[in-house]
Structures are given as C-alpha cells and as structure tokens.
Structure 1
Amino acid sequence: MTTGDPAALFDAAVADHRAGRLDAARQGYRSVLAAVPGHGHALYNLGVAERSLGRVGEAIRLWTGLVEAEPRRVEALLALSRAYRTLGDDAGSLAFAERAAAVEPASADAQNLRSNALRSLGRNGEALEALDLALKADPSYALGHANRGHLLSALKRHAEAVESYRAAFALDPDLPDLAGALLDQQMRCCDWRDFGDLQVRVRDGVRRLEPVTIPFTFLAHNDDPGDQMACVRTHVKVRFPQVPAPLWTGQTYRHDRIRVAYVSSDFRIHAVSQLLVGLLERHDRDRFEIHGLALPPRVEDDMRDRVRAACDVFTDVSGLDDAAIAAAIRTAEIDIAVDLNGFTTFCRPGVFARRCAPVQINYLGYPGAMGSLAADYILADRTVIPPSESVHYDEKIIRLPFAYQPNDDRRVIAQETPTRTEAGLPETGFVFCSFNASYKITPEVFDVWMGLLRQVDNSVLWLLGGDAGIERNLRASASERGVSPERLVFAPKVALEAHLARHRLADLFLDTLPYNAHTTASDALWAGLPLITCAGRSFAARVAASLLAATGLPDLATTSLDDYQALALALARDPQRLAALRARLAANLPDAPLFDTDRTRRQVEAAYATAWRRRMAGLAPRSFDVPEDA
C-alpha cells in the first residue's frame, strides 16, 4: 500500500475518480483505509467506484460496513437502497430507503427510492404517497415528477401521467427516457400537443444514441428500422452495462424431445395468449416438450387455465428475479427459450441476457428487433421483414412462408349480432371502423380519417371507447378538422365473442400507421370485415399487410397514405365492389393460411427444429426460410 498523508492520498484518489481512472481511485481509497480504517468518505467512495465497475456485491459489503459504523449516514443508506434495487431485491431496497427517510424525512431522494421499491412490490398507493412527500420536500425535483408519471402510467391514469411528465420536462428535459414517456402518454390520451416537436426530439435523440425513450413506445411514432435498432442498442447498453455471465456455455443436452419454454407475462386474457393458445395445444408431443413460464402479473382466468393445460410443464415464476428465472431454465435443460414479451410491458430481457438456453428466440409479443444479447433469432415472415430491411436486425431472421402470426381457429364469434341502435350507431350510413388502441392513432392518420368522413356523406367512424378523456380529445380534434364530433362513435368494452360479433355492423376497417393493427387485424378478418392498411418500413408497420397476404387479400395493402385514402374512398362509394370484397374474404377464410392453426404449428416447429439442430451441430445461428410444405 502507498504510504503518506491520508488527506493527500484521499484528494489524489478523488482526482483519479473524477477523471475516470477507477482502478487508480480504488487503490488510492484502499491506501487511505489502510492508514485510517474507519475513513467514512473513503469507504463510501470506494463503494461508488466498485459499483461503477459492476462489482455491486463488493459495493454493498463496503456500504454495509459503513452504515454499521455510522447508522445515520444517509448517502450510504441511499446507495444501498439503489444497489439492492439493481439486484432486483425490492424488499432490501425498501428497507434501506426507509432507514434513510427515518433519518431525513424531508429527503426527496429517500422518498423517491421508497416509491420505486413500493411500486415494484405492488404497493402502488403507498408509492404514490411517497412521491407526493418527495415533491412536497422539493417541488423542483424533476426525477420525482418523472417517477410520478411512471407510476400513474402503470395505474393507467394517463392524463395525470402527462401532467407529471410535463412538469418533469419543464425542469429537466434531458432525464433518461422522459421525452419518449411524455410522448407515449400523450398519444395514449390522443393529446397531440407538441406532437411533431416531441416526435423529432425523440428521433434525433435516438440517432445520437441517447436514452430518450424505451423501444416499445418508439414503435408507435417511428417507422425507420434503423432508428429502432439504434434505440434498442442504446436501451440494452444502459440496462446491461455489464453483460451477465452466460449460464449455458455449450453443453449438449440429450433429450428424447426438444424442450421448448415459452416465457411470458401474458398467459391470461391478453392478445398474445389469444393468438398463441391454439398452437400450444397442437404442438407435436412426440417431438416437443412444452414448458410455460409465467411472469408477473399473476392473473387467474379462463385463458390462463387453457394455457396451463396446453403445457407439459407450467411454472409460475412471478416471485423470482431475472437470475433465478434464468437459472430455472438452465436447470430444466431447456433447448429453446422463446421470449414472448420482448420489450413490452412486464418484459424481462435480463432472463435472456444470461444465456439461459442454447437457442433463444424473440417471437410474437414484440414486433421488432431485440438485439443479439437477448435473442439468437426473431421469428418473422417475408412481409414483416423484407430482405431489404434485414440489415437492421442483430438477430438472425427465421421467415415463415405465410404469416409469422399464429391464430386460434377455434375462436368463437357470438351468434347474436347487436342492432346498430344497440351499438350506438346510426340506422343508416357507412361505418368506418378502427378498434386499435389509442396510442396507435397519430394526427397524420386521423387527418386521413376525417378527410374520409368529410367526403362520404352520413358516414361515421367507430372507435374503441371506455375513456372519457380520450373520447373528448378525439371529438375536439374532429371538430378542429371540420367534422361534427357526433360522427365519432365509441364502442364500450365487451366480452371477446361479443366484440367479434359486432364487427358485422362495420363496413370497412381502417388501419393505423406506423403501428398497425396486429391481433386487432386478425379479429376483423376472422369476423369477415375487410381491412385496408398502409404498409410502412418497420415490422410493426407491415403486420397488417402480412395478415392480408395470408388471407388472400394483398391488394388491400397500400404503400402511401394517399393510396390508402383513395382505396377507402373508392370502396365506400361502391357498394357492389365492397360486397364482392366481403364475399371474397368469406370464401377465403376456410383455407386461409392465416387461420390454419395446424399448418402454422408445423411451420413453427420446423423453425425450432432447424435452429436447434444447427446449435447441436456446433454451428452459429444463421437466417433461413421455412418451406411451405414444412
């Protein structure tokens, strides 16, 4: 150890630390501690350096020793709270945040950390109270406003989330992911204030490789696969500054059947399960052993029961952290782990970043690239990822011959159709319909829709309802565009069978861009309702075109909004052409590849088997197409 004046040694270590010379700083702090074993500042700073180098356990050891000696050292208590949160130990994080708050009740940082831990533990009411305390202590605390927005967003109080995000944005517009979160929540409310400015700010930040948004919300307002890949790479770099050690390191498993684990938070009444459950039920049990790993939230409903029954092994892992889930997959000797979440809500990419299985596949839940850290492959088709866009995917691409999307051909449509009056529709007039989520509606697409209403007399636009704020904003936007607000009709939430049945009352489904209808498009087609789309460049913007091609209706996919509007107008003005189109869809449905669950199952299994054989042969992943006759 270097000897000398402890104060001089400490100053030199701090200088090294500030200059980014972390190894030199660590050595300096240790020299100080050799001379003065209880030097609190040296202990604290050494822990900071260790954490910066990814040695979270060592940082915790140092800070724990410090707070044992100095129980009221708030900076160390806060550091421990943050460290335990990094490890996914929310109870530990909360314990140290509570201790810090007990020492300094007015500490905004302590209350913010309390809120984060309470939210992760499902105690949302207490989490919101903690943030209110933080902001009472410091109204200019931008991070507190931002986290309040995150919490309100999770509670689906989107309009309130917008105001919290706007408060944070006014104080510190450069907070990580803030600009994207603000734009996302405004889109969910159809609140298009500053839409163009925010959209450009987020896009430009992504291109500068800044953490301005999370990947999933970026899909709703950006159609450039290159931008989307840049967003993913930045997000992964921030989320995983140190790549976890791989759990699978080349071992060969010798099983009678290929073990496939589907990992999802959506084994419940949810679009992912709605699409996938039929395929799960029909997997070839002579060749495949099917595991389902259920992430939180834990919801018991009829769909979960059906998924559970479709799996050979179904495990609720909602109480486990990423490392424990990955270890469970490795211990079970899973051959192929399928991530059904990607970067959607409740995602757990940390499981897959630990290389828990020989083959890892990004499928269905997230319509875009995840990067090679978490996935070897993305399961797609030639429409959603045309060869010209392959360069924007780090994963290797498996293309199914028809649509990547599976469907359940046993889905029931209620026999009884409501009357137009019962559905809130006028007795006569053309019904344009779009049952997409509110965040998919952009001002540009809404402009087109309002243009159609102005050109088609007595027509209405039928949208999903259920939120008075969204309905109010959309009606106000219609009025601004010269359309009577009463010509927007909002459909209440009903059971899926009844929802499918009411599609019979609509004349034409209008898609959104750049985030198309996905499950919603399959709903419309399955119910016999023609759909028109405008295909963009990105995966999310090409799904409806894929589904139309797999239903024998590729001519309903346009490539510009002008053509999209012209096609919709032509069909609305030509009842005979529209009737012929509906008849063509009805005739196609029985043999359409999109709704042939068993054919899709065979093709997905062929994809799995090919990827698995390559890995067992010691070959690196590569892109390939699955043949039609698989």
Structure 2
Amino acid sequence: MEQAIVNGYNDASRLLMENKLDAALAVCLSLLKQAPGNSAVLNLAGSTLYRKKMLPEAESLLLAANEIAPEIEEITLNLVRVLRKRKRIQPAINILEQRLACNPASSRMLSTLGEIFYYDSQFAAAARVFEQLLTIEPGNVDGLFRLACAYQECDMTEAAFDAYWKILALSPDHPDAHVNLAQIYKSLGNHAKSLELFQRAADLVPGDPAHASRALFCLNYTFAEGSRLLEKAMQWADKHTDCLSSDQPLARRKTRADGRIGLGFISADYTRHPVGKLFLPVLKCLDRDRFDVHCFSNVDIEDDMTALYRSVAPNFNEIHHLDDRSACSLIQSRDIDILVDLSGHSNGNRLGVLARKCAPVQIMWLGYFNTTGVAAMDYVLADEINVPPGQEAFYREKVLRLADSFFPYVPSSETAPAKRDQAAPINFGCFNDSGKINDTVLTAWAAILENVPKSRIYLKSRTFSDQWVKNLFLDRAMRLGIAPHRIIFLGPSDYDAYIKDYAKVDIALDPFPYSGGATTADALSTGTPVLTCPFDSFGSRLSASILSACDLDNLVCTSIEDYIARTVRLGTDHSLLTTTTDTLLRNFASSRFCDVERFTRNFEQVLLTTLN
C-alpha cells in the first residue's frame, strides 16, 4: 500500500508539472481515499486546487496537511499562499508567527511574513521582520532590498538610502536598487543623479521598458526643451513599443445593439493617488446611456479608494496579473471603442498594452504631462493653456483641446480655514512634492523672503518627515541664500489635516518647471492665492491652466523675475492680498474649474469627435 501511494504521488506530481490539473487532482483524491491522513498527498491536492483557482477547497486540504505536519515548511508556505490569495491576511500572519515561535531562524518563513506585512501596508512590521532575517543572513541581498523598501515606505529615507548603497556594494548590478535610489535622489532635487541611476537601471535590464519610462518621467522635473523630450520619448517607443502594433490583431469598432460607445480607462492609480481622486468625479458623471464604461486596473496594492472605484464602475477589470498580450485581449473582448490612458510614463503604466492598439481610438489624459512617444497612441488631451498653439510639434500624438480646463475639481467638504491676521508676518507655503523644488526655485524664494520682512515659508512633503532630508534641504537652502529659521517643515498627514494646514499659509508658491496640479487646486479651495511661473512644457503650465479657469490670470507670471516681483508685492501690500483672497473665495467654487458636470459633458463631446 505504501509503495502504491508513493507511485500515485509521483504520477500526480508529474501530471501537475505537465499542467494536467484535472488528471492530477483525480489521482490525489483517489490516494486520499486510501490514506486520508497523508500530509504529502493533502499538500499536493491542495496545490492542484490552488492552480485550478478552487481556493476554499485548497485552503481546507492545506489546513488539514498543516495540522498533521506543521514542521514541513512547504505545506505552511502553500497554505499561506492560498490565504493571501483569498485576502485572509491575519490568518496567514498567525500561522507564520506560530511557526516562527518554534523555529525563529527560518529564513523562508521570515521572508514570507515580511512580504505579507509589506503588501498589507504594515511597513513598520515588515521592516522589523526583515531586520530579524538579516541578523540570521547578513548577506541576504533580497532581504536587504525588501528592508530598504520598507524603510522607504516608513519615510525612513536615510536608512533606506544607506541600505540601497549597501546593496549596490554587494550586488553592483541590482537594477531595482538603482531605481529606488534614483527616486530618493529625485525627492532631494538632485535630478542629474536621479537620471543617471534610472538610466543605469535601464541599461542593466534593456528589455524592461519601465526603467526607461522612469527616466523619461524624471525629465519633466528639469528644464529640458520640448524637442529633447519628444526625441527621448520616440527613442523609448522605437525600442520598446512601436514593434508591438502588429503583434496582435488590431481592434475594430463594432456596432452595439444598444447604440452605446465602449469607453475604457486604464490606470495604475485607482487609489488615493491624485489621479484617482481627480478622475472619480468624472467617472461618476459620465453618461451611461451613451457610454458603456469600463475601468482596467493595474493597481498593485489596493486601498479604500480602490473599493470605491469598484462600486462606481461595475465593469472594473483587474489587469495587474496579466501580461501585455493577455491584457490587450481582455480589453478587446469588452468591445472598447475609445481607450483613455491615465498613466503615460508614470509608475505602473501599461504602455505595452496600448502599443498593441487594443482599441480603435487611444487617448492619453490626466496622469502624464507630455508625449508618450508611442505610435499607437492617437491623441493627447490638453487645453489652450497647458499646450498653447505652436507646441503641438512636440507631441507624437495629435493634440485635442478641452474647452475649459484640463481636469475638473471637487472642493473638500472641509470648510476653508480662516486666514491669519493680516498684520502678522507673511507666511508663504509650498505643499508640493519636494522633488519639484530645484535650485532655481530656491534662488527665487530666497529673493522673495529677502524682500518680504520677517516672512517664512512652510514646506509640506512626505520626505520632510525624515530629519536627514530636512538637514540636506536646509544646507542647500542656506547655500542659496535662505536662512534656516525662515523655513518650517510639515510632514505628511491625512487629507483633512493637509487641507487644514493651509490655515498657516497666506500665499502659496508654485514650483517650476514642474508645477502643481491637484496641490494648486487644493490651495485655491482654501482661499490661498497661488503664484505660478509657467514655461513651455505641459507640466509647467498646469497651475496656469487652473488659475485661468478660475479667472485668476493675475496670479500667472511671465518670467522668474515677474514671479519674484508679483509675490513680493502681494506679500508687502496687505490691501492687495486681502482683495486677491476675497476675489479667489468669490470666484473659485462657482468657476468652470469646479463644474464637474460641465467638464464631463465637454469631455464626452471631445471623445466623440475622435470617432468621426
């Protein structure tokens, strides 16, 4: 009998390796009738059921196997894999912690537990587990990388920075360490070093378009000319995507029985990302009688906003687990006529899917402020401000103009904070990503602070929760003429606290050449004037577009010198500041920028023009 079970087990294992799942399961079930308590067969049957996506049944068998043989790591890890897939995170954690209590030196168990904590956004717990792993295996590069990522998510930037450099000392060709270091350098305003590291990662993995995409995205933080950005984007597309359009049959428009138009949106940001928050009101407002709306989600780690998207968009399709070809097939199966990309070259993009032309019309909007360079992308949405006439030559896509603004905005339910006493010293503020604050911006701010007596500037960014980052920033600011006591740092907070922090600010200063978008809208919603200095690039003109849509063109400057002069005047003329703030409060809520219904109807009309 024992030999028969061994032979049957070997047969089932072979069938599983050959992906003959039904046959493998049949053999396992037959063996379990003979030996119902055999942990090896229970484990194999559970693994087969997992492959067949029969998760509750797989969990039941693997729980039984784990109870019989808790000392066998493979069974425990298979059970945890099923629990994770079923989003039963706490039971998975409990099982691993019980196992580690018996064998605290198990590197596989520690690594798996750390991963679970990390992907459940329990980053501090993940860091503790990976620290424990590294006491056992100090040279474990994978464990060190995961620890560095956890540090980064905990805003322990210095610790993450040191860990990534340690990884590169142990493994100089580690592409992901180069990428994450590049992200840190970008947040420090060192775009030259960031670009160097992104490019190194791209060179190490030449077939991976994501690393080169990150380098393209980083160029938007610099004063690179439009011709250079177009050239780099087309080089990227020539290498990574333009060869894919013939890889799959092109989508053709189909006539639907109900006459509706298939409209899809593809994004990695159906989360509490600015794109996720800005797009949701438009999604809710779309005319469902005219459009059959689908969302295609490349979200890796979901949050409460993702759940909200699922409730608003019944046709919510996950594509994170699909390769590009399979994702394209899924989109084509939904008969999408117009596919709108909300990512461009930002993190998590699926330009490899779009390159296969999975919809007859493909449009870029909202998530990226430049050309993708991809031949299969037909249009880019903009308005007259962020892509002025004459700038179309810097886009491979055809530029389509939205009537009123690039996106609409729904003000927070929070009431606008009361402004400070106008007789008190002026407080400036910038709540943008610290990576947008380059030396040219700091030099302009130094001139402003020098000419507005006793003024200070509040800076709020996630990276400013780390003292090392603050010290580096202060050193740079001092070198450019700003005394440390003139800068007040505010760390990250939830959205309501972030909005309330504008009560500390009298005048918001927009960075350049990568201006604010949602941040500018948030400031205006609290009655805080924002001065901006647009350049030629799309990304530098977002705030100008918003201010124009609010009839606040007087806050749009014509040069850096004008930016300094207007800010100084506003900061020293209290009557002018009061008038400007009153006008802002009067204009904002009733502006076309805050009219989601009007924007969405215009948006729909622009989409319809692409089908003519």
* Distance in 2 separating the partners of 1:188 and 1:475: 14
| Inter-CA distance 330–202: structure 2 relative to 1 (3 Å threshold) | closer
Counterpart of 2:217? 216
Q: How does 1:562-581 map to 2 (within 5 A)?
A: 562-581=561-580
Partner of 1:436: 432
In the alignment of these two chains, the number of paired residues is: 484
Which of 368, 377, 400 pairs up with 2:370? Answer: 368
Match of 1:412 in 2: 413
What whole-Å deviation, never above 9, does each CA across 1:110-150 have from its counterpart, x for those lacking one? xxxx99xx99x969989999999999699xxxx99999999
Q: Write the letter of the residue equivalent to 2:220.
A: L
Q: 1:286 to 1:361 in 2, by over 3 A?
A: same
1:390-409 CA-partner distances (Å, limit 9, x unpaired): 11101111111221122225
Whichever residue aligns with residue 573 of structure 1, its letter is T
Residue in 2 aligned with 1:59? none
Shift of 1:593: 1.4
User: Does the 8 Å CA contact 1:279/1:408 hold for their aligned counterparts?
Assistant: no
The C-alpha deviation readout for 1:433-470, integer Å capped at 9, x for no partner, is 10000111101101211222222222111111423222
Provide closer, same or farther for how the CA distance between residues 443 and 480 of structure 1 changes in structure 2, counting only shifts above 3 A.
same
Distance 1:543 1:137, change over 3 A: closer
CA RMSD of aligned residues (A): 4.1
How does the TM-score come out when normalised to structure 2? 0.69
What are the residue-to-residue correspondences of 1:128-277 with 2, within 5 Å? 158-159=157-158, 184-190=183-189, 192=190, 214-240=215-241, 242-245=243-246, 247=248, 249=250, 251-255=252-256, 256-277=259-280
User: 1:339 maps to what in 2?
Assistant: 341
Q: How far off is 1:366 after superposition?
A: 0.9
Specify whether residues 177 and 491 from structure 1 end up closer, same or farther in structure 2 by C-alpha distance, changes over 3 A only.
closer
Q: What pairs with 1:8-407 in structure 2 (closer than 5 Å)?
A: 158-159=157-158, 184-190=183-189, 192=190, 214-240=215-241, 242-245=243-246, 247=248, 249=250, 251-255=252-256, 256-301=259-304, 303-407=305-409
State the secondary structure of the residue aligned to 1:458.
coil
The C-alpha deviation readout for 1:221-265, integer Å capped at 9, x for no partner, is 234121112222222334348425354535331122111111112
Distance 1:217-1:146 versus aligned 2 partners, 3 A rule? farther
- In the alignment, residue 497 of structure 1 is paired with which amino acid? D
In 1, are the aligned partners of 2:251 and 2:332 still within 8 Å (CA)? no
CA displacement at 1:269 relative to structure 2: 1.4
What whole-Å deviation, never above 9, does each CA across 1:570-614 have from its counterpart, x for those lacking one?
Answer: 110101111111111112123311111111101110111111x23
> How far apart, CA to CA, are the structure 2 residues paired with 1:555 and 1:249?
48
1:601 aligned onto 2:600: yes
Tell me, what secondary structure is at the counterpart of 2:588?
helix
Amino acid at match of 1:220: Y
Classify 1:555/1:416 alpha carbon distance in 2 versus 1 (closer, same or farther; 3 Å). closer
Amino acid at match of 1:306: L
Instruction: Name the SS of the counterpart of 2:589 in structure 1.
Output: helix
Structure 2 Cα separation of the partners of residues 155 and 244 of structure 1: 41
Question: Structure 2: which amino acid aligns with 1:363?
Answer: W
What secondary structure sits across from 1:214 in the alignment? helix
Distance, in Å, in 2 between the alignment partners of 1:317 and 1:198 is: 29
Secondary structure at the counterpart of residue 534 of structure 1: coil
Distance between the aligned counterparts of 1:450 and 1:433, measured in 2?
A: 13
Q: Secondary structure at the match of 1:274?
A: helix
Q: More displaced, 347-356 or 539-548?
A: 347-356
Equivalent residue, structure 2, for 1:459? 455
Deviation digits for residues 354-401 of structure 1, max 9, x if unmatched? 211111111101111112334211111111111221111011111112
Q: Compared with structure 1, are the counterparts of its residues 216 and 199 closer, same or farther at alpha carbon in structure 2 (3 Å cutoff)?
A: closer
C-alpha distance in 2, partners of 1:243/1:512? Answer: 38
In the TM superposition, what is the alpha-carbon distance from 1:350 to its structure 2 partner?
A: 1.3
Letter matched to residue 284 of structure 2: E
Alignment check: 8 A CA contact 2:386 2:545 kept: yes
Residues in 2 aligned to 1:295 and 1:137: alpha-carbon distance in whole angstroms = 30
Q: 1:172 to 1:235 in 2, by over 3 A?
A: farther
Q: Is the 8 A contact 1:229 1:393 kept in 2?
A: yes
Q: Structure 1: 5+ residue runs without aligned partners?
A: 1-113, 421-425, 615-630
Give distance in 2, aligned partners of 1:186 and 1:520.
22
2:572 and 2:321 map into 1 onto residues whose CA distance is: 56
Contact 1:180 1:218 in 2 (8 A): no
Using the TM superposition, give the Cα deviation of residue 494 of structure 1 relative to its aligned residue in structure 2, in angstroms. Answer: 2.9
Q: Note closer, same or farther for the CA distance 1:228–1:171 as it changes in structure 2 (3 Å cut).
A: farther
C-alpha separation between the residues in 2 aligned to 1:144 and 1:501? 39
- The one-letter code matched in structure 2 to 1:296 is V
Cα distance between partner residues in 2 of 1:127 and 1:218? 34
Deviation at 1:487?
Answer: 2.2
Please give the alpha-carbon distance, in whole angstroms, between the structure 1 residues aligned to 2:255 and 2:130: 48
Paired residue for 2:477? 478
Partners of 1:177 and 1:213 within 8 A in 2: no
Q: What letter corresponds to residue 319 of structure 2 in structure 1? A: V
- For residues 415 and 392 of structure 1, the distance between their equivalents in structure 2, rounded to whole angstroms, comes to 39
Structure 1 residues 456, 441: CA separation in 2 closer, same or farther (over 3 Å shift)? same
Alignment of 1:540-619 (within 5 A): 540-611=539-610, 613-614=611-612
3-state SS, counterpart of residue 547 of structure 2: helix
- Structure 1: distance between partners of 2:162 and 2:407: 37
In structure 1, give the amino acid aligned to 2:346: T
CA change 1:326–1:430 in 2 (3 A) is same
Please say if residues 375 and 395 of structure 1, whose CA atoms lie closer than 8 Å, have aligned partners that are also in contact.
yes
SS across alignment from 2:532? strand
Percent identity, aligned pairs only, is 26
Paired residues of 1:248 and 1:330 also in contact (CA < 8 A): no
Q: Secondary structure at the match of 2:385?
A: coil
Q: Distance in 1 between matches of 2:581 and 2:145?
A: 48
In the alignment, the residues of structure 1 paired with residue 338 and residue 240 of structure 2 have an alpha-carbon distance, to the nearest angstrom, of 24
Say which SS state the counterpart of residue 264 (structure 2) adopts.
strand
After TM superposition, the score normalised by the length of structure 1 is: 0.67
Kept in 2, the 8 Å contact 1:418–1:502? The answer is no
Asked if the contact 1:178–1:213 (Cα under 8 Å) also holds between the matched residues in 2, the reply is no
Q: Work out whether residues 532 and 558 of structure 1, in 8 Å CA contact, stay in contact via their aligned partners in 2.
A: yes
Q: Aligned partners of 1:461 and 1:380: how far apart in 2? A: 32
Preserved CA contact (<8 Å) 1:258 1:335? yes
Task: Give the aligned partner of residue 40 of structure 1.
Answer: none
Cα distance 1:145–1:499, how it changes in 2: closer, same or farther (>3 A)? closer
Contact 1:214 1:235 in 2 (8 A): no
Pairwise CA distance, 1:270 = 1.6
Looking at structure 1, the residues matched to 275 and 148 of structure 2 have their Cα atoms a distance apart, in angstroms, of 27
Q: 1:196 to 1:334 in 2, by over 3 A?
A: closer
In the TM superposition, what is the alpha-carbon distance from 1:188 to its structure 2 partner?
Answer: 0.7
CA contact (8 A) 1:189 1:438 kept: yes
Per the alignment, do residues 332 and 241 of structure 1 end up closer, same or farther by CA in structure 2, a change over 3 Å counting?
A: closer
Of the structure 1 ranges 308-317 and 174-183, higher mean CA displacement relative to structure 2 is found in 174-183
